[in-house]
Amino acid sequence: MRHWWLWAWTIGCFGCGMLAGALVIVRWSGQALALAAVVLAIAVLLLAYGWWRELRAARRRLEQQRRRPRIVAIGGGTGLSVVLRGLKEFDVDLTAVVTVADDGGSSGRLRTDLAIPPPGDIRNCLVAMADTEPLLERLLQFRFPAGQGLAGHSFGNLFLAAMTHIMGDFVSAIRETSRVLAVRGRVLPAVREDVVLRAVLADGSVVEGESNIPQAGGRIERVELVPPNPEPLPEVVSAIREADAIVIGPGSLYTSVLPNLLVPGLAEAVADSRAKKIYVCNVMTQPGETDGYTASQHVDVIYRHIGRPLFDYILVNAASLPPEALEKYQAQGAYPVLVDIEALYRQGLRVIARNFVHFATYARHDSRLIAEQIVSLIGYERLNAARG
């Protein structure tokens, strides 16, 4: 704005000088007075324009300061819902981007029988972000224990299936269900169309279906989507571009995290975004997917699949688990993810290692601790930008 003020004052002073000269020297020459008046009028207009631009810029800065931080969380399964439960308690503009490659359990049956995208992960995220009574949450998560065709189905999945047929499409069904549940933010599927996840194992064999991949028994070389070029949801791309922070994980590396990033255009949108990109690494390895993987190997798998570095920060758990928890996990073939900090540094990551775990029946990330760390990262960066 400064050049407008400089020009306004310069021309204003010049106009005043011409007016004074016309009065003293030219003795009220009509032509000189007219010229001085024109110059003075231009100066006033420039001053007014400068004031208007300055006020508009100040209002914009105030709006930006008042605007809630925009956070996009990408993933699937129970890991994403854990992060969402914590973030919804903060005054943020929250968007969840959820994989739709699930083909097991109730979701898989509805996907086959009704030709709709799998609703299970979407349901978990809606419940995690909902501002509802506990009884309604229990109702949505309720699974029918028995009955002709109903055994194993959750009420929430059936509700989303019914809403899809009423509204005509899955995205509209999610939107209307979000209104019913008073969801704090948005839940979006990564794509509209039906996609299948396929894995190529180290021995060259191919396994198709998200639920079949962990059971294949071989080391996974890569995963891919079928069809290979599904269209990303435009709202997802817009949310990523406008985000202040993008959170990826925790969740099953090959079957929850990567299916989102393999959608053409999504990984590129994340990489090109000016947001802080945060990867929340899993606490435990997952049998059949990440046996023996360190934290840096999780990151390396993502980078190999998308062909470029992606993250600014990685959040890793630095706390030990109780012996009884370790025994329970070891019986299932799962072990704590080794945090190889030097390798993470070589990947260009800023490592945040602290106690992020809440242990009850299983070791899960603590929703509140993860959310506090994510929000503090945005605040820290904004503070530095303001000082700069």
Residues 92 and 18 in one domain: no
DSSP three-state, residue 206: strand
CA–CA distance, 237 with 26 (Å, rounded to integer): 67
Domain end marker among 18, 48, 65: 65
Containing domain of residue 57, as a range? 2-65
Query: And the tokens for 135?
Result: 């009884």
Is residue 382 assigned to a domain?
A: yes
β-strand partners of 272: none
CA–CA distance, 167 with 107 (Å, rounded to integer): 19
β-strand partners of 247: 73, 278
Residues 370 and 283 in one domain: yes
- Residue 24: its pLDDT value, please? 47
Residues 250 and 299 in one domain: yes
Do residues 114 and 173 make contact, with C-beta atoms less than 8 angstroms apart?
no
- Residue 1: its pLDDT value, please? 43
Residues 16 and 86 in one domain: no
Domain end marker among 65, 85, 111: 65
- Residue 8: its pLDDT value, please? 53
Is residue 146 assigned to a domain?
A: no
CATH code, domain carrying 369: 3.40.50.10680
Burial state string for 167-184 with b = 16 or more CB within 10 A and e = fewer than 16? eeebbebbbebbeebebb
How many residues are present in the chain?
388
N-term to C-term CA, the chain: 18
CA–CA distance, 167 with 173 (Å, rounded to integer): 6
Residues 20 and 81 in one domain: no
List, for the chain, all residue ranges whose pLDDT scores fall below the cut of 50.
Answer: 1-6, 9, 24-26, 28, 383-388
Residues 9 and 84 in one domain: no
Cα–Cα–Cα angle for 277, 283, 285, nearest 5°?
110
Residues 294 and 340 in one domain: yes
Domain end marker among 39, 65, 91: 65
Residues 274 and 287 in one domain: yes
- Residue 77: its pLDDT value, please? 80
Residues 331 and 360 in one domain: yes
- Residue 56: its pLDDT value, please? 76
Do residues 287 and 214 make contact, with C-beta atoms less than 8 angstroms apart?
yes
Q: Cα-atom radius of gyration of the chain, to the nearest Å? A: 28
Query: And the tokens for 131?
Result: 């501002």
CB atoms near residue 3 (< 10 Å): 8
Do residues 278 and 246 make contact, with C-beta atoms less than 8 angstroms apart?
yes
- What's the 3-state SS for 361-388? CCEEECHHHHHHHHHHHHHHHHHHHHHC
The gap from C-alpha 380 to its chain's centroid, in whole angstroms, comes to: 18
Enclosing H/E stretch for 187: strand 186-189
Exposed (0-12), middle (13-18) or buried (19+): which is 260, by Cβ within 10 Å?
buried
- Residue 2: its pLDDT value, please? 44
- Helices and strands (H and E) in the chain: how many: 15, 12
- Residue 103: its pLDDT value, please? 84
Residue 8 Cα distances to 14, 50, 135, 211, angstroms: 10, 8, 66, 69
DSSP β-ladder status, 70-75 and 186-189:
unpaired
Domain tally for the chain? 2
Enclosing H/E stretch for 70: strand 70-75
Residues 6 and 76 in one domain: no
Residues 27 and 90 in one domain: no
- Residue 185: its pLDDT value, please? 94
Query: And the tokens for 178?
Result: 């979000």
Is residue 37 assigned to a domain?
A: yes
Is residue 363 assigned to a domain?
A: yes
- Residue 291: its pLDDT value, please? 95
Residues 327 and 267 in one domain: yes
CB atoms near residue 56 (< 10 Å): 11
Q: Dihedral of CA 159/91/358/131: which sign?
A: negative
β-strand partners of 75: 98
Is residue 326 assigned to a domain?
A: yes
Is residue 200 assigned to a domain?
A: no
Is residue 45 assigned to a domain?
A: yes
Is residue 137 assigned to a domain?
A: no
CA–CA distance, 115 with 104 (Å, rounded to integer): 14
Phi, psi of 350 (to 5 degrees): -95, 120
